[in-house]
Structure 1
Amino acid sequence: MNLELSLKQTLKLSPQMLQSMEILQMSTLELNEYIQELVQENPAAELAEPPDPGDESEELWRRMQSLADLDHQNRQYVTADRDELDPLARVGTDGGLADTLLLHLTRQLERSHASTIVLRGAQFLAASLDEDGYLRDDVADLAQAAGLPASILEEGLSLLQTLDPPGVGARDLSQCLALQLQRLGETGPALAIVQRHLEHLARKQYHAIAQDLGISRAEVREAERQIQALDPRPGSAFAGREEPSYLIPDLAVVEAEEGLTVVYQNAYAPTLQLSGYYCDLQQRSTDPEVKQYLTDKIKQAQFVIQAVEQRRSTLLDCARAIVRRQEAFFRSAGGHLVPLRLSDVAQELAIHESTVSRAIREKYLQCARGVYPLSFFFSREVGAAGEGTSVHQIKSRLRELVEGEDKARPLSDQKLCQLLEGEGVTISRRTVAKYRDELGISSASGRRARPKE
C-alpha cells in the first residue's frame, strides 16, 4: 500500500458570499422584489419612508381654482379640466371602459331587422371571432355547438359581414380584403386580384397578374395601392391594449464641469434600514430565545444592507470604467464604440471578470443618446489584437454603405465585404450577411428599387 501526501487548495463560498453574488446580479426589479419579501419575513428590516411628493392632481386643482376665482372668464375652461380629473368622465374612452369588438357588433345587430333566430346565430358567430375579426372555425362545427342549423349560421354570417368594421367575419385574408373593396363599390382589377392573385401580388409578380386579367402592369400597380390602403386586421382596433412597461435606468451619464459623471439613480429604489424598535427590543429582552432570534434577524438585515450598498458601489465603478473607455461614444452623437471586453474592466478595477458580468446583468444606463443596457458597451474586436475595429463600428459602416448605394444596383454581401476590406476591415462574406441581418437590412435583391411604370 502506497501512502501519498498531497497539498490541494480549494475555494469554498459561504452562504453569505453566495447571497452577495446573487444580489449583485439582480436587476432593479428583482432587487425591489427581494427587499419587499425580506421586509415581510424579517421584523428587523424595514423600508425607509420615502419623501411625500404630495398629491399632484389636488395641487393642480387648487391652482386652477385660484385662477378661476380671480378671472370668471376662465371658469368654463377650469370646469372642463376638472372633468378630466374625474375618473367617471373617462368611461368609454381609452382611459376608462374600452369598447370591445363583440359589444360593437352586438349594438349593430340590435338595430337589425333580421329574424330572431338569424340574429341569434349572428350573435353566436360574433362571439366566436378572433381578435383580428376573423371567423377561423368551421361553420358546421359552430352550428353543432350553437344548437342551430348550419343554414341559419350561414345567414348569420352573411349578416355579420355587412357590419362595421368592413371585413369583419371573413374566413381568410382574401375574403377580408374583398369584403372591404365591395363595401367601397370596387368591381375592377383590385377585387379580382384579392380573390385570385393575392399570393402573386405578395411576390410582386405583376406580369403574371396582368397577363391573366388582361390588363396592363400600370393597372396592377394601381390596384396594389388600393389594396395596401385596406385593413387586413379589422378587429385589431378593439383588441385589449397592454399597459406599457416603463424602464427606469439604474445609472445616468451627465455632463459636469469636471467632465462626464456617472450618477446612480435610486429615487425609485426602496431603501432598506434596521428597525429601531426591534433593535431596542433585542437589547432589552431577557428571554434568551427572543434575544437570539432578534440577533439573527438583525445580522441578516445588516448583511443585506451591506450587500445592496456593495452592489451599488460595484455597479458605479463598472459604469465609470465603461464611460472612460467609451468616452467618444458619449461625447458625440456620431461617436463609435471601441473594442471593450469584460476582462478590460475587470483588470482596471482589480476584480474578477465574473464580478463585472454579474454587475452589468440587466442594468441600464441613460445618456444623451438614449437608454442602453450596460452590456451594449462591450463590443468585441475584429482584426489584429490591439488594432482591430469594434463590431459596433463595422455595423455602423455597413449601414452607411447601404444608405449610400445605388438603389438600382444595390451592393451584394460580397461587394460590401470587399469595400470593408479596402478600408482595412477583414471579415468574411458570411459575417457581413450576419451583421446585415442583425441591422434589419434586406439582401441586395430585397433592396433593389423597382423600375417605375
Structure 2
Amino acid sequence: MAAKSGLGLVQRQGLVLTEAMRQSLVLLRLPTLAAAEAIAREAEENPFLVVEPAPGGPTAYDYALDTTVANESLGESLHRQIALQRLDPATEAAARYLVGELREDGYLDVALSDLAAETGAPIAVLEAGLAVLQSCEPAGVGARSLAECLELKLADAGIERSLARASAEHLDDFAEARWARLSRSLGQPQTVLEKIAALLRGFGSAPVREDGGWVDPLVPELAVEVGVQGRLAVALLPGRLPACAVMAVSRGSLEGEALRALHDRARRMAAAVIARRETLLRIGAHIAETQSAFFLGRHRTIVPVSRAEAAAALAIHPTTLGRALAGKALLAGNQVFPLGMFFSRGLPGAEGAVSPFDVQQRIRAMIAQESSDTPLADDRICAQLQKEGVDIARRTVAKYRKCLRIPSSFGRKRRKVT
C-alpha cells in the first residue's frame, strides 16, 4: 500500500488518477478478508491510522491480523513480482493498478479502453502494464478470456508463443483429437499436437485454481433481514472491517516529508473504508429492492438484472460496480450469497426473461430426479429446457452444471456404480 506505488505519482507519464481515487478503488475491489489484511498491514506500518475492531468474537479483521504474515495473498505476490522487474515508473504504476482490477480467479474482466477512459491513462501505458502483469505467476494471470489464459499457460510450459496463441484458437479440435485438421492449421506433427493436448488437459479454466491457496473465503459484509410487515432492511455486518480514524495532529507538527506522507496515507485509507461501506450499502439496498421475491420467498427465484442496468440505476460506472461485487457476499436467512449472483443477463423464456440462477435450480432438480441407470446428459437437459421455453445452448447447460459442481453424466453414472 505504499504511496510510491500509486498512479498519482506518475501523472507526468500519462496516468492521471489521483492517489486518493486509486486507494478507494483498490480497497473496493478487494474481497473482505483481503481488505481486512490491507487495513491491518497499513495499521502496523502507519502510526497515524487508528483502527477500532468491533467488540465480541473473532472478526475478519482478527483473522487478517493472524494470517497476514503467514499467507501471501495473490495481490501481494503480484506486487512483489512486479517490484523485482526493472520498469519505468508509468509501466510499473499501470501494472500495480491492474492488479487491483483482477477478479478473484485471476481474470481481468475490465476492458483496457474503459480503464483508459476512467483514469486518463494512455492505452499504450496500460497495455505495457498488462504485459508485465501477464509475465507474473501464476501463469495466465491477467488473461481476459479463456483462450488468452490457456495461451499464457502454454507459453509458460515452454510452447512457443505464436504456436500457443494459435493452439488456443482451436480448443474444440484438441478436445476431439482432430489431428489431421490441427496439423493443417498449425503446421505441426501429431507428436507435438499430442503434447499440447496433454498440457491443455492439465490446465484449469482460470488463472487461479480454487485449491491453489489464493482464493479468499467468502465473508459476508452485508445482511438482509425481513422486518415488520415484510419490509426488507439492509445493514453492514459489524466487525467485518474495522472502523478507521486518523490520529488528530496539527499539520504544522508533522516535521519531515516522511511523516506527512504517512499522515496522508492514513487519511486516504480511512476515506477508502468509508467509501467502500457507503457503496456496498447502496448496492445492498438495490439488491433488496429488485430481488425482494428472493428474500421474502425463501430464496426460490431471482429477477434478471444486468450489471449495466444496475450501474445506471445506481448512477455509478459499470467498472465500479464490478469492483464492488468482486469477492463480496451478503447474509440472508443464515445463508451466504455472493453479490454477483444477483446480477445477470436473463435467458429468453416462455414467460419472459429467466435468470441463470433459476435455470441452474431447474437443472439441479432435473438431475436429482434422474434415473441412476441413465443419468441425463447435457444435451438431454438442454432439450428439456428448450421444451419448457428456455432458449439455451448445450454448452451453457454444461457451464451451469459445472457451476453447481455436478459431475458429467458419465461421472455420475460411474460414481453410482462404484
TM-score normalised to structure 1 length: 0.47
1:429 is the counterpart of 2:394: yes
Secondary structure in 1 matching 2:255: helix
Report the equivalent of 1:275: 247
Instruction: Give the drift of 1:331.
Output: 1.7
CA drift at 1:450 = 12
**1:37-72, CA deviations, whole angstroms, 9 ceiling, x for partnerless residues?**
32333332222375588xxxxxxxxxxxxxxxxxxx
Partner of 1:261: 233
The match for 1:327 among 278, 287, 292 is 292
Distance 1:403 1:50 in 2: 43
Structure 1 equivalent of residue 21 of structure 2 = 17
CA distance in 2, matches of 1:398, 1:411: 10
Cα distance, 1:275 vs structure 2: 1.8
Q: Which amino acid letter does the alignment assign opposite residue 49 of structure 2? A: A
1:328 Cα offset (Å): 1.8
Quote the residue 1:377 is aligned against. 342
If asked which structure has higher relative contact order (CA below 8 Å, sep 6+), I would say: 2
Are the counterparts in 2 of residues 249 and 371 from structure 1 also a CA contact under 8 Å? yes
Residue identity opposite 2:34 in structure 1? E
Within the alignment, does 1:355 sit opposite 2:320 as a pair? Answer: yes
2:222 equivalent in structure 1 = 251
By how many angstroms is 1:12 displaced?
A: 3.1
- RMSD (Å), alpha carbons: 3.6
| 2:381 partner amino acid | L
Q: Compute the displacement of 1:392 (Å).
A: 1.5
| DSSP-derived class of the 1:303 partner | helix
Aligned length: 246
The answer as to 2:270 corresponding to 1:305 is yes
Distance 1:275 1:441, change over 3 A: closer
| Counterparts in 2 of 1:449 and 1:334: CA distance versus 1, 3 Å | farther
Evaluate the alpha carbon distance shift between residue 44 and residue 416 of structure 1 in structure 2; reply closer, same or farther with a 3 A threshold. closer
Deviating more after overlay: 305-314 vs 15-24: 15-24
Q: How big is each residue's C-alpha offset from its partner over 1:287-331, in whole Å with a ceiling of 9 and x where there is no partner?
A: xx7177655544432232122101100011112212222222222
Change (3 A) 1:28 1:323: same
With normalisation by structure 2, the TM-score equals: 0.51
Q: Give the structure with higher Rg (CA).
A: 1
Counterpart of 1:394? 359
Matched, 1:45 2:49: yes
Q: 2:241 aligns to what SS in structure 1?
A: coil
| Deviations 1:158-217, CA, capped at 9 Å, x for gaps | xxxxxxxxxxxxxxxxxxxxxxxxxxxxxxxxxxxxxxxxxxxxxxxxxxxxxxxxxxxx
CA distance in 2, matches of 1:19, 1:34: 11
Give the Cα separation in 1 of the matches to 2:40 and 2:333. 33
Q: Supply the distance in 2 between the matched residues of 1:436 and 1:339 (Cα, whole angstroms).
A: 19
> Is 1:342 aligned with 2:307?
yes
Q: After TM superposition, give the deviation of residue 413 of structure 1 in Å.
A: 3.4
CA distances 1:358-385 after superposition (whole Å, capped 9, x unpaired): 1111112111161122122223322279
Alignment of 1:46-445 (within 5 A): 46-48=50-52, 51=55, 248-257=219-228, 259-276=231-248, 279=249, 282=251, 285=253, 290=255, 296-333=261-298, 335-368=300-333, 370-383=335-348, 387-444=352-409
Taking only the aligned residue pairs, the percentage that are identical comes to 34
Deviations 1:255-279 (A, max 9, x none): 1126111110132432221224xx1
Contact 1:326–1:337 (Cα < 8 Å) also in 2: yes
**Deviation of the 1:434 alpha carbon:** 3.6
Report the Cα offset of residue 442 of structure 1: 4.5
- Corresponding residue of 2:34: 30
